[in-house]
């Protein structure tokens, strides 16, 4: 409704001769003093219900403006990110020359005095969070994967650390042991467990491996067997990653985009069910990612010589993310303490790809490791063992590692962007 009214206003101004427009997106409404003061419990924390509405608006605004560019000849605009401007200053006031007053913190920090710090991380998902669960026939167990960390292939779909490692760092625990290796690292169980399996999805995909429902089943079995207790879960955080394997499977099985909207709806509904189930097991905070801009992955930008994204695909991503935002906001409204958090990979990726982040890349769309032709991928070899891929000299110079996944440096840049926005809600 708001976007519809805004469109009407813009078109009215355009018809009167206006061609250049300046916009400022919505501030984090739940963090303004009056909202914090009225927050239940008077903890001084931001009201997530209001802030999530602001994020929803801000996510929709760029798509509206791009649509108007195609509809209105000569329409030009600038869009100032006032939301991030304020969040960054609340997150690190000293950096911007503001005095930090001791006592009750005005910013909502993950180590607030009213809540103990999480001691465990439980991870569900796919290759963006898998740290070693796939079998050793997968690319993540072959050179050159893992060359930066730990120095050899070890099951991560990158040259080094992935999203799980950075989230673990943020909450102050070691990266949890993969489920596959649980019997060989019993002392590491105190940090939680990683059930994520590369190539899998919310539903079954074309890749073998446990879908998300099965991954949650595995945790439930460990609780029943006494490996983890309810108290363990109550002092934990959960990371859930969904990065598009379900959509790839849908496309391959159906051959067209027909029916996408109903499939997106069913997928987000199942994600919602999974989030509720994880929280129902006792986990206090559950973070799920907004889908990254799939149209900007090298597997799609290769067609454009790694110089531009596929906006048609990104428009489908935007529908997924808007529906997910609405579903999570509804969940938080129905649940005490707003336990569900969206990690906005879309905005994080786009800010980096548009060179707006603190870490810059020369050509962020071009991967470090790529097959020499469409028949091959990073790590491919022929029958004689000859390499069928190219590898850049310095993985630290690239945002993308292969056709789908960021480098360790890329994930570090994403982590920095998330720290300034949604990670702080954990």
Dist CA 400 CA 364 (whole Å):
7
pLDDT of 44 reads 62
Q: Provide the 10 A C-beta neighbour count for residue 15.
A: 9
Give the tens place of pLDDT for each residue, 190-236: 999 999 999 999 999 999 999 999 999 999 999 999 999 999 999 99
- Find out whether 125 and 196 touch, Cβ atoms under 8 Å: yes
Burial class (CB in 10 A: 0-12, 13-18, 19+), 404: buried
Superfamily of domain 120-360+412-425: SGNH hydrolase (3.40.50.1110)
pLDDT in 10s for each residue of the chain, 426 residues: 566 678 889 988 998 999 998 888 898 887 876 566 555 554 567 777 678 778 878 888 887 888 888 789 999 888 888 888 777 776 766 555 554 433 333 333 444 334 578 999 999 999 999 999 999 999 999 999 999 999 999 999 999 999 999 999 999 999 999 999 999 988 899 999 999 999 999 999 999 999 999 999 999 999 999 999 999 999 999 999 999 999 999 999 997 767 888 999 999 999 999 999 999 999 999 999 999 999 999 999 999 999 999 999 999 999 999 999 999 999 999 998 899 999 999 999 999 999 887 788 989 999 999 999 999 999 999 999 999 999 999 999 999 999 999 999 999 999 999 998 889 888
3-state class (DSSP) for residue 200: coil
- Structure tokens, 274: 């999974």
> What interhelical angle do 245-254 and 260-280 show, nearest 10?
150
Report the C-alpha gap between 288 and 294 in whole angstroms: 17
Helix, strand, coil % over all residues of the chain, rounded to 5: 45, 10, 45
- How far apart, in whole angstroms, are the C-alpha atoms of residue 50 and residue 55? 9
Among 80, 78, 178, which residue's Cα sits nearest to residue 130? 178
The greatest distance separating any two alpha carbons of the chain, rounded to the nearest whole angstrom, comes to 71
pTM: 0.76
- pLDDT, mean over the chain: 89
Q: Kind of pairing, strands 389-391 and 369-371?
A: antiparallel
In the chain, which segments carry CATH 3.40.50.1110?
120-360+412-425
65 and 79 in contact (C-beta within 8 Å)?
A: yes
Q: Which residues are catalytic?
A: 127, 402, 405
Tens digits of per-residue pLDDT, 297-336? 999 999 999 999 999 999 999 999 999 999 999 999 999 8
Predicted confidence (pLDDT) per residue in 374-401, tens digit? 999 999 999 999 999 999 999 999 999 9
Structure token pair of residue 73:
């000849």
CA-derived radius of gyration, the chain: 22
């Amino acid at each position: 409704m708001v976007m519809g009214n805004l469109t009407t206003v813009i078109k009215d101004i355009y018809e009167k001769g206006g061609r250049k427009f300046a916009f400022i997106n919505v501030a984090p409404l739940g963090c303004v003093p009056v909202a914090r003061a009225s927050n239940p419990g008077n903890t001084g924390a931001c009201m997530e219900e209001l802030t999530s509405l602001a994020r929803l608006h801000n996510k929709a605004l760029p798509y509206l403006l791009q649509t108007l560019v195609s509809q209105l000849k000569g329409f030009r605009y600038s869009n100032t990110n006032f939301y991030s401007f304020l969040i960054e200053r609340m997150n690190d006031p000293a950096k911007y020359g503001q005095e930090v007053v001791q006592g009750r913190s005005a910013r909502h920090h993950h180590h607030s005095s009213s809540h103990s710090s999480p001691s465990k991380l439980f991870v569900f998902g796919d290759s963006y969070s898998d740290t070693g669960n796939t079998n050793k026939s997968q690319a993540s167990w072959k050179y050159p994967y893992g060359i930066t960390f730990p120095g050899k292939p070890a099951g991560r779909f990158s040259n080094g650390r992935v999203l799980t490692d950075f989230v673990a760092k943020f909450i102050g625990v070691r990266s949890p042991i993969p489920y596959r290796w649980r019997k060989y690292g019993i002392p590491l169980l105190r940090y939680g467990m990683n059930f994520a399996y590369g190539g899998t999805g919310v539903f079954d995909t074309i890749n073998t491996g446990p879908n998300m429902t099965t991954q949650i089943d595995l945790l439930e079995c460990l609780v029943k067997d006494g490996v983890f207790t309810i108290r363990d879960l109550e002092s934990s955080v959960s990371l859930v990653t969904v990065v598009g394997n379900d959509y790839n499977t849908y496309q391959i099985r159906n051959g067209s985009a027909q029916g996408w909207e109903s499939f997106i709806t069913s997928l987000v509904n199942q994600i919602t069910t999974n989030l509720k189930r994880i929280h129902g097991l006792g986990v206090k905070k559950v973070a799920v990612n907004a889908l990254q801009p799939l149209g900007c992955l090298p597997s799609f930008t290769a067609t454009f010589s790694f110089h531009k994204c596929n906006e048609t695909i990104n428009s489908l991503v935007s529908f997924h993310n808007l529906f997910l935002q609405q579903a999570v906001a509804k969940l938080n409204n129905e649940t005490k303490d707003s336990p569900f958090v969206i990690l906005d990979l879309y905005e994080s990726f786009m800010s980096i790809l548009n060179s707006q982040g603190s870490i810059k890349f020369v050509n962020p769309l071009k991967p470090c490791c790529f097959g020499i032709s469409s028949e091959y991928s990073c790590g491919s070899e022929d029958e004689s063992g000859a390499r069928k891929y190219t590898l850049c000299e310095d993985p630290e110079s690239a945002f993308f590692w292969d056709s789908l996944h960021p480098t360790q440096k890329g994930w570090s840049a994403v982590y920095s962007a998330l720290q300034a926005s949604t990670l702080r809600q954990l």
